[in-house]
Every structure is written in C-alpha cells, then in structure tokens.
Amino acid sequence: MKQTPGFRMRMPRGGRLFLATCLGSLFVLVLYFQSITKPGKTLHTFGPRKSRSPLQTLYNGDQLELLAAQRSLQGRRELLEQACLSHTRKRRVLSPEDLKHLIVDDKHSLIYCYVPKVACTNWKRVLMVLTSDGRYTDPLAIPANEAHVAGNLRTLSEFSVPEINKRLRSYLKFIFVREPFERLVSAYRNKFTRSYNTAFHKRYGTKIIRRHRPDPDPEALEQGNDVSFNEFVQYLVDPRTQREEPFNEHWERVHSLCHPCAIHYDVVGKYETLEPDAQAVLRLAGVEDTLQFPTSGKSTRTDGNMAARFFKHISPFYQKKLFNLYRMDFLLFNYSTPEYLRTR
C-alpha cells in the first residue's frame, strides 16, 4: 500500500530569523537581570564611587582569607556597635565642642580621635607628616612637645556643621583604645611621679593633697609633687571633682572623649596590638609604603602586672567605685574585669 506523505508547513526564512533574534534577546535579558540582582559583597561605600574603597578591601575583600589583624578589627567594630545598643539608652546630639579630640587629615580623608596615654604622641607625629606637604618626613624627628602644640593639626571642631557632617560621612574614622586601668596607672605615673611635670603638680596635685590628705605639711600643699595613687583614686571618685570641672583628658573616659556610640568609627585599634593595628590604618590610608608607625622603645611600659601592684593598696570600696566610673570603657571596648580587682 502506498503511504500518503505527511503534510508539513514550512515557515518562511525571514520568520525564522526574527524568532531566533527574539530568543537570543530574551536570553541576554535574563543574564542581565541575574547580574544586577545578585547580592553584592559590601553594603557600605566610603569615598568616591569611581574606585574600590579601602574599607571594602579590609572588611569585604576579594581574598579568600582575611588577615588575622583584619578579622580582629572587623570584630571590634561589630562588638562596639552591639555594646552601644545594649548599654546606651539615648544618644546625645553632639556639638562642635565635643569634637576637639578628632584630628582631621583632608589630604588622606582621615579622622583620628586621639586618646592620651594610647600612643597619641606618635599618631600626632604621623599625622603631622601626612598633612605637612613635605615639611616633615620622619615622625620620630618631630619633638614630642611639638606634636602637642595646638594649631599644628586641625580638629573637627574647627569646621562648620555642614563641613563636619560631610567629613564624618565620607572619611575613614579611627580610634585607639587601651585597657582602662592600665591607661589610668600610666597617666598617674606620668603626671604625678615625674619631677618635670610641675604644671600638673601645681594644677591638680595641690588640690588633691588639700582635699584627700589628713594634716598635709605646708611643702606638700605648695608643691603638690608627692600625690599617692590612693589619693589620686579618691580624687577621681569624689563627686565634687566632676561637679567642679571636667576630668583632665589624661584620665577622662574614652567614651567621653571620642563618643563612640554617636560617631561610627571604622577602625578600633588597641594599644595591646598597636603595631599591626597601626599598620592596617596606614594601609587603608594608602601610605604604608612611604611611612612607618614609630615603635615604642619604652622598657617600663605600664602593663597589667604593674597596674595590679598599684591597685594592691586600694581598698575594695574604692576599687568598686573606680570600676563603676570606668565601667563603660570596659564594656564598649570589650575589656574584661581585671583579675586583681577586689570589689567585695
């Protein structure tokens, strides 16, 4: 039997080309929408959008494994944010007067909040080199007293409110902190046990002796140069002290100097890991190949063991009062209660 051939309709050639073009275009559109809706690696952009921000490299870099120092810096920033949420009920609105400790480097888009007794002399030296347009090249060649001269570096408080907000939004902001009681003992040793600090002896020592030493002799009242650590602690926890005037910056709490719950610091460095943390900041600033952070040559640096010796003769009553005074710095910067502390 002869089979009847099947009937088949042929599409014109022009129609086939049109269909192929439509399918190809649809495929390209699908790929495009997949690419633009794919989650990105970073949520934050700091500085111009033309190039990749150094902060993106630090916290969300392309490398398979972040360096230990980088992971540590990211963890500190996250812990600080969590502590602020847990321990601060109301964030106060800052005024320019609150920003006197924030040093600005417009050339490298940096803001550094300096904390006395946390390598701030060397950081000021570094920033003088960065902002000097060639006048300074070696941080250690800058005398320590010159690093602290008012006017050598600009602070955020000198700018108008719009300029302040502009810099806070776009600059790399960093801070270095230290175990609170080690910093406090370091401040006491430097300001009250060194014979050359006569200005502090006259300004604070005489007041401390007059108020907290029973039957002081006339020479001590006049010179103020033999304040004991116990007397210094009593002065700090005395309610009259802060009612009369703010704490001196050398023993003021870090959270009062730098306002870490109101200002979003990108890097929280620590004195205990000063060298790698400082190197990370210089890397972010893009100057790690031309500038080295000065290393400390001190052989009698105040550490936990030395702090323990000073606190040995402080009564539990005053230890507890002092810990409560500095408690927020312990909490915000993730420092544990010292083992030598006796608060009961």
Q: In what order do the strands lie in the sheet with 154-155?
A: 154-155, 102-105, 110-113, 172-177, 267-270
Strands (E), the chain: 102-105, 110-113, 154-155, 172-177, 267-270
The SS3 of residue 343 is coil
The Cα 18–Cα 251 span in angstroms is: 79
Record the tokens describing residue 146, joined without a space.
């010159």
Tell me if residue 242 falls in helix, strand or coil.
Answer: helix
Q: Report yes or no: 312 and 304 within 8 Å, Cβ to Cβ.
A: no
Give pLDDT, residue 3.
46
Low-confidence ranges of the chain (pLDDT < 50): 1-9, 27-54, 56, 61-66
Longest alpha-carbon distance in the chain: 138
What are the CA-CA distances from residue 321 to residues 206, 233, 252 (Å)? 23, 9, 15
Which pLDDT belongs to residue 53?
Answer: 47
Distance in angstroms (rounded) separating the CA atoms of residues 8 and 18:
20
CA 130 to each of CA 9, 269, 270, 288, 307: distance values in angstroms, whole numbers, following the listed order: 79, 19, 21, 12, 35
Place of tokens 């004991």: 228
* Nearest-angstrom CA–CA distance, 11 and 66: 59
Q: Are strands 110-113 and 172-177 parallel, antiparallel or unpaired?
A: parallel
pLDDT at residue number 258: 98
Distance CA 233, CA 317 (A): 11
Rounded CA-CA distance 196/181 in Å is: 23
Helices (H), 98-237: 120-131, 144-147, 161-170, 180-192, 198-200, 206-212, 218-223, 229-237
Instruction: Residue count of the chain, please give it.
Output: 344
Pairing label, strands 110-113, 267-270: unpaired
Give the helix/strand (H/E) hosting 75. Answer: helix 68-87
**Partners of 172 in beta bridges:** 110
The answer to whether the CB of 259 falls within 8 A of the CB of 94 is yes
CA atoms of 217 and 3, how far apart (whole Å): 132
Rounded Cα distance between 296 and 305, Å, is: 19
Distance CA 142, CA 176 (A): 21
Q: How far is CA 306 from CA 182, 206, 250, 275, in A?
A: 8, 25, 18, 21
As given in the structure block, the two tokens for residue 343 are 């608060």
SS3 of residue 102 by DSSP: strand
Query: What is the residue type of 217?
Result: D
User: Domain map of the chain by residue range?
Assistant: 65-333
Q: What gap in Å lies between CA 126 and CA 107, rounded to an integer?
A: 13
Q: What is the pTM of this model?
A: 0.81
